[in-house]
A = this chain, B = another copy of it.
Amino acid sequence: MSSIEIALTPEQVRAAGGRLAVEAARFTGYGWMRGTSGNISEVVSREPLRLAVTASGLDKGELLATDVAVVGPRGEAVAVAGVEPLRPSAEAGLHARVAALTGADAIVHVHALNAVVAGRRWPGGVLLRDVETLKGIGRLAHDDEVVIPVIRNSQDMEELGDRFEAAHDPRTPAVIVADHGLYAWGTDLKHARHVTECVEWLLAYALATA
């Protein structure tokens, strides 16, 4: 763990933790965070890059504002004075990579069943076009070929990050990790929530009409 940072205050971290807890409870209610799966993050500093991310191994439906870890660009835990250091998920490394690469300030990772089923059905990417809900992820409702990339799963976050970087389309705020789950992001937590909801709807629709 790096030396203690003084740029972030405990209040900032707890405030982010509270926001993450609310979003996590919502997605848990949707059945997208079964067990202790999934994690949600928010960028709390750009220079240096720091994310507040839900702590690992906890039930995502009953997080407290203090159930939050702070990580750096490789997902490594970063100590913040006045904040009890909690273990971040290994996946925090991919969150940081998404934040760095896309400029997103909030990232959602959920084990939504439809996303994993769609990734299995279309390992080369999920093609979507001509549906109004595409506007909810910043694309067009007509004549816009949208592909949700599908990347192979890995336990090595650097490898997974490289695959993400290779597959990522700057116009599409979501990626499916095959045999695993969905990553989606936005300009803030509420936007990321809306993108996640729309992507899941679109994947359910793709499966229902395949």
Contacts and interface: CB of A to CB of B under 8 A. Distances in A.
B201 A111 contact: yes
Interface residues of A, number: 36
Interface stretch (A4-12, A30-38, A66-74): A30-38
A94 to B, nearest CB: 12
A88 B132 CA distance: 17
Interface in A10-28: none
A133 interface: yes
Contacts of A141: 153, 155, 179-180
A111 B133 CA distance: 8
B181 A132 contact: yes
A208 interface: yes
Contacts of A195: 35
A205 B117 contact: yes
Contacts of A200: 34
A34 B153 contact: no
A136 interface: yes
A46 interface: no
A117 B209 CA distance: 6
A111 B141 CA distance: 13
A136 B37 contact: yes
Interface string A180-210: 1100000000100111011011001100110
Interface of A: 34-37, 59, 111, 113, 116-117, 120-121, 130-133, 136, 141-142, 153, 155, 177, 179-181, 190, 193-195, 197-198, 200-201, 204-205, 208-209
27 contacts: A34-B133, A34-B194, A34-B200, A34-B201, A35-B133, A35-B194, A35-B195, A35-B198, A36-B136, A37-B132, A37-B198, A59-B190, A111-B132, A111-B133, A111-B201, A113-B201, A113-B204, A116-B131, A116-B205, A117-B208, A121-B209, A131-B179, A131-B180, A132-B177, A132-B181, A141-B180, A142-B153
